[in-house]
């Protein structure tokens, strides 16, 4: 009898176990069916239980995967990330305009995801949302304008820095060198002038360290560790990886900025602000709207964002510019000829020269288009139920805006896969402005530093090619491959800058 009792007990336990497993399976199937797109959702690949469409994303080239999905399913498509979380891909100008211009208020907020929450804490210019973001952006734009963005005073500062950058290139004596660090330092000094009221020497190793740390913070979300942290934050908190290094580097950058803030507090004059930090400290004292977020902690994050977005993108575009001009010497020769004709060698360039230099201006635009430094803009989130291009976008769904397909639209550019300044010239050689040329995005969250970046690109570019002819080192084949990251820059290279 005891044997039968044990046997019955085992059978009962087995049935209970089977029942539990069946119950769990039913729950998974129900969740899976609930996550399947409705007929009004944007089209996309069929998601799998638990992992969604993770198998559709090439871990080594997620941007390429997104582009293929857009080509297959259209300008507004959907994929499901781990856990079944839907993400809408916007990859056409029409969708951008409908979402970010016509329905701007519905798509201004940032989604919450682990790595961004850890890095940005919902503060600063990039990570904040709602009323706080509006107030921080308003303040940043008005302050940058106050200190000369778009004015002759800042143009003079850029030209002074351009001269110092040219001197640094000249010091290489025509020998092969990597222009990355010194170019990055020069561009960063423009932001430093606006934010700190001073510049840093090119041989300042401490400043180099801070710039490298800031870049690592900017790039983390696109790295393998960053993506894994987004999917498994609790597990990744205990596993070794580069994410721990970057989290520590963010603290270094914040301490560097905090020291600058303290110096400003000690020797500043509220009635005569010298830079962004002075103005922000004044705003902290007089702004009584706590929800606007004017605090020292938010100031630190705003400065991190200004450096990350305002330095890396422009510096990377200039590195692409040098690489492309070296790769295509016939285009470089035409740029030299136009600079000699319009600017000459006896004076520095001016922003007023743009209208007289259609070919060079077209070259700069093609560098931005073909280099595509920002292949996608930071994600958004729908703050209400809405539609885009007739497709339902539920509240809370993350939106990933892809710029690369727009800048490579075959209906707009005759040869989008080739570097061709003719994309921005008409039959008579006049510059042509294209509506879908939006490297800074569009709408209320478009890059706040667009005007500054345009000034820097033109003046730095003209100054460098006025002074130098760039060539590849003997026996060197230049590589146009991009490095994967939040920003898409060239792989490290060396060039020879020969004085003209």
- Is 49 within 8 Å of 83 (Cβ atoms)? no
- Residue 39 pLDDT > 70: no
**Cβ-contact 274, 268 below 8 angstroms:** yes
The least confident of 237-241, 286-290, 360-364, 482-486 is 482-486
- What CATH topology corresponds to 92-499? Cytochrome p450 (1.10.630)
Query: Average of pLDDT values for 136-152?
Result: 88
Residues of the chain with pLDDT > 90, as a percent, come to: 73
Tell me the CB-side half-sphere exposure of residue 183, using CA atoms within 13 A: 23
Widest CA span in the chain: 110
Q: Mean per-residue pLDDT for 252-275?
A: 93
Here the tokens at position 76 are 């507004």
pLDDT score, position 50: 76
The C-alpha atoms of residue 375 and residue 400 are separated, in whole angstroms, by 11
Q: What DSSP string runs through 97-152?
A: HIIIIITGGGG-BPPP-HHHHHHHTT-TTTS--HHHHHHHHHHHHHHHHHTTTTSH
Selection from 256, 257, 217 nearest residue 115 by Cα: 217
CA distance 336 to 264: 44
pLDDT of residue 103: 95
Interior/surface letters 353-390, b for 16+ CB within 10 angstroms, e for the rest: bbeebbbbbbbbbbbbbbbbbbbbbbbbbbeeebebee
pLDDT digits (tens, 9 = 90+) for 420-478: 999 999 999 999 999 999 999 999 999 988 999 999 999 999 999 999 999 999 999 89
Q: What is the pLDDT of residue 24?
A: 55
Q: pLDDT tens digits for 396-413?
A: 999 999 999 999 999 999
Query: Residue ranges of the domains in the chain?
Result: 92-499
pLDDT at residue 11 tops 70: no
CB atoms within 10 A of CB 163: 13
237 pLDDT band, cuts 50/70/90, is very high
What angle do helix axes 205-219 and 242-267 make, rounded to 10 degrees?
130
What confidence category does residue 225 fall into, taking pLDDT thresholds of 50, 70 and 90? Answer: very high
The mean pLDDT of the chain is 90
Q: Which pLDDT belongs to residue 20?
A: 60
* Per-residue pLDDT at 160 exceeds 90: yes
174 Cβ neighbours under 8 A, 6+ residues apart? 496, 497, 498, 499
Residue 330 confidence (pLDDT): 98
Q: What is the pLDDT of residue 16?
A: 58
- Give the pLDDT score at 65: 87
DSSP 428-497: TS-B---TT--TT--STTS-TTHHHHHHHHHHHHHHHHHHEEEEPPTT-----PEEPSSS-EEPP--BEE
Task: Return the structure tokens found at 204.
Answer: 């300042």
Query: Alpha-carbon dihedral of residues 242, 245, 247, 249, nearest 10 degrees?
Result: -130
Instruction: State the pLDDT at residue 25.
Output: 53
Answer whether residue 221 shows pLDDT above 70.
yes
For position 23, what pLDDT does the model report?
Answer: 54
Lowest-pLDDT range of 30-39, 81-90, 382-391, 419-428: 30-39
Global confidence as pTM: 0.90
Q: Is the pLDDT of residue 141 over 90?
A: yes
pLDDT at residue 151 in the model:
73
Residues 47-82 have pLDDT tens digits of 888 788 888 888 777 888 888 888 899 999 998 876
pLDDT digits (tens, 9 = 90+) for 81-117: 766 678 999 999 999 999 999 999 999 999 988 999 9
pLDDT computed for residue 324 by the predictor:
98
């Amino acid at each position: 009898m005891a044997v039968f009792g044990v046997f019955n007990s085992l059978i009962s336990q087995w049935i209970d176990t089977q029942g539990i497993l069946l119950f769990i399976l039913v729950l998974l199937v129900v969740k899976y069916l609930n996550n399947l797109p409705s007929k009004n959702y944007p089209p996309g690949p069929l998601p799998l239980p638990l992992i969604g469409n993770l198998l559709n994303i090439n871990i080594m080239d997620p941007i390429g995967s997104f582009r293929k999905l857009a080509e297959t399913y259209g300008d507004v498509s959907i994929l499901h990330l781990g856990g079944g979380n839907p993400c809408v891909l916007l990859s056409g100008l029409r969708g951008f305009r409908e979402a970010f211009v016509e329905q701007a208020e519905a798509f201004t907020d940032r989604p919450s995801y682990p790595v961004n929450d850890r890095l940005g804490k919902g503060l600063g210019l990039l990570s904040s949302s709602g009323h706080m973001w509006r107030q921080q952006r308003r303040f940043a734009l008005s302050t940058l304008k106050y200190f000369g963005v778009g004015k002759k005073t800042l143009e003079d500062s850029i030209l002074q820095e351009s001269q110092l950058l040219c001197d640094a290139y000249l010091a290489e004596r025509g020998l092969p060198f990597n222009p990355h660090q010194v170019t990055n330092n020069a561009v960063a000094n423009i932001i430093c002038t606006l934010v700190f009221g001073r510049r840093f020497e090119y041989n300042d190793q401490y400043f180099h360290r801070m710039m490298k740390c800031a870049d690592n913070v900017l790039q983390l979300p696109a790295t393998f560790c960053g993506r894994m942290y987004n999917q498994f934050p609790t597990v990744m908190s205990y596993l070794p990886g580069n994410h721990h290094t970057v989290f520590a580097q963010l603290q270094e950058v914040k301490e560097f900025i905090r020291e600058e803030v303290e110096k400003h507090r000690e020797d500043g004059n509220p009635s005569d602000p010298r830079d962004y930090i002075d103005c922000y400290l004044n705003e902290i004292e007089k702004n009584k709207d706590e929800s606007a977020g004017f605090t020292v902690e938010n100031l630190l994050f705003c400065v991190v964002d200004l450096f990350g977005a305002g330095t890396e993108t422009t510096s990377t575009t200039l590195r692409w510019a040098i690489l492309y001009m070296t790769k295509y010497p016939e285009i470089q020769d035409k740029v030299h000829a136009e600079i000699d004709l319009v600017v000459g060698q006896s004076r520095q360039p001016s922003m007023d020269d743009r209208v007289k230099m259609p070919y060079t201006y077209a070259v700069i635009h093609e560098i931005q288009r073909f280099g595509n430094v920002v292949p996608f803009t930071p994600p958004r989130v729908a703050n209400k139920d809405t539609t885009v291009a007739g497709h339902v976008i539920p509240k809370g769904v993350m939106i990933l805006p892809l710029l690369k397909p727009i800048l490579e639209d075959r209906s707009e550019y005759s040869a989008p896969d080739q570097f061709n300044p003719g994309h921005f010239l008409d039959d008579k050689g006049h510059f042509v402005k294209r509506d879908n040329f939006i490297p800074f995005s569009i709408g209320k969250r478009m890059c706040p530093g667009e005007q500054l970046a345009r000034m820097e690109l033109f003046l730095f570019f003209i100054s460098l090619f006025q002074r130098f002819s760039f060539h590849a080192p003997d026996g060197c084949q230049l590589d146009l491959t991009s490095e994967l990251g939040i920003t898409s820059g060239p792989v490290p290279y060396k060039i020879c800058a020969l004085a003209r």
